[in-house]
Amino acid sequence: MPEAELEQERIMEINGRTRTCGLIGNPVEHTMSPAIHNTLARIYGHDLAYLPFHVPAGGLEEAVKGAYALNFLGLNVTVPYKSQVIPFLKETDPLAREIGAVNTLVRVEGGFKGYNTDMPGLWRAMCQDNVALEGQKVLILGAGGVARAVALLAVRKGAGEVILLNRTLEKAQAVVEEVNALTGRTAARALALQEHAFLPAGEKYLAVQATNVGMYPRTQEAVIEDQSFYEKIQVGYDLIFNPARTRFMSLVEESGGRAWNGLKMLLYQGIIAYELWTGAEVGQAQAQEAFQAMKRAMGIL
């Protein structure tokens, strides 16, 4: 086994000063976050252990209070608790409040402060991939929690136009109203999914795939199949990371576009959380090492 993997395999030394971080959610069994955080702790020599904690329905408040009482340094929060956790926090960062979802808790005096690192994580991933938003025409497929955050990001980063395409048009319209009100711009608008046919031919869009369609185990599905849609896509960013190559990505590439998956967003939301907990500034080489550890844990390396 190569040295890097051997190192990875070594059992972490826990001692009396080891600080605890972790993930709360339901389910948590398939999480890749321990690979990210425990690798970073090893690289930086931080005496920190990161563990998954399955919190059953009805147990969220007790879990947050218990983690504080047990001197936890911080927590990540995943489905279905990202919005539900907000009332149990001491403070909420303005960006997380605006997004309406918290995925990172940082210990402060008297409780935890909630942050959202998903949206900044996506932005760092896009910067790494040389995907610009400024002046771009952006399509967002979906109008759920993540699509709303992506729409805010795109408008804030100066996208020329942001169109949300969703199965349920009313949901997309509600998100558009909120995003335009929050940003003071009118850059966002909504379309029903099948109305993609009205997008002008010859136009080139950046499309962010923010629906659940195509996720494991239904990997043969894409939210739009029509090839004429993909001819309008210059860059396709699928937020799904399992599978690592989605049908949406294949369709984008088959029509000559460039495509990315959601693995780097996942990595950077974790890295930003780690930076909030420890004050470290994670460099490129260290991020790459954590990325490799995450991919090994997923069995795609």
Catalytic residues: 82
Report if residue 291 touches ligand NAP, rule: CB under 6 A: no
Report if residue 142 touches ligand NAP, rule: CB under 6 A: yes
**Separation of first and last alpha carbons in the chain:** 14
Rounded least distance, CB 268 to ligand NAP, Å:
8
* CB within 8 Å of 87: residues ≥ 6 apart: none
Among 269, 274, 289, 291, binds ligand NAP (CB under 6 A): 269
What does the chain come to in residues?
301
Instruction: State which of positions 151-170 bind ligand NAP (CB under 6 A).
Output: 166-168
Instruction: State which of positions 233-252 bind ligand NAP (CB under 6 A).
Output: 239-241
Rounded least distance, CB 260 to ligand NAP, Å:
10
Report if residue 85 touches ligand NAP, rule: CB under 6 A: no
Report if residue 212 touches ligand NAP, rule: CB under 6 A: yes
Nearest of 262, 295, 274 to residue 129 by alpha carbon: 262
Question: Which CB atom, from 60 or from 272, has the smaller least distance to ligand NAP?
Answer: 272
Question: Which CB atom, from 47 or from 170, has the smaller least distance to ligand NAP?
Answer: 170
Question: Which CB atom, from 98 or from 118, has the smaller least distance to ligand NAP?
Answer: 118
Q: Residues 98-137: x/- map of binding to ligand NAP (CB under 6 A)?
A: --------------------x-------------------
Rounded least distance, CB 150 to ligand NAP, Å:
9
Nearest of 47, 124, 178, 140 to residue 291 by alpha carbon: 124
On whether the CB atoms of residues 24 and 53 are closer than 8 A, the answer is yes
Instruction: Tell me the pairing of strands 161-166 and 137-141.
Output: parallel
Name the one residue in this structure whose structure tokens are 């007790």.
62
CA 230 – CA 251 distance, rounded (Å): 7
Rounded least distance, CB 73 to ligand NAP, Å:
22
Question: Which CB atom, from 24 or from 68, has the smaller least distance to ligand NAP?
Answer: 24
CA angle centred on 52, ends 49 and 56, rounded to 5°: 145
Tell me phi and psi for residue 255, to 5 degrees: -95, 10
Beta strands in the chain (DSSP E): 19-25, 48-54, 74-77, 91-92, 104-108, 111-115, 137-141, 161-166, 188-192, 205-209, 233-238, 258-260
Edge-first strand listing for the sheet containing 104-108? 48-54, 19-25, 74-77, 104-108, 111-115, 91-92
Contact stretch for ligand NAP (CB under 6 A) within 10-18, 144-152, 174-182, 247-255 = 144-152
Rounded least distance, CB 136 to ligand NAP, Å:
20
Q: How many helices (H) and strands (E) does the chain have?
A: 11, 12
Q: Residues 21-50: x/- map of binding to ligand NAP (CB under 6 A)?
A: ------------------------------
Using Cβ positions, the residue closest to ligand NAP within the complex turns out to be 144
Residue ranges that bind ligand NAP, judged by CB under 6 A: 118, 142-147, 166-168, 171, 210-213, 215, 223, 239-241, 262, 265-266, 269
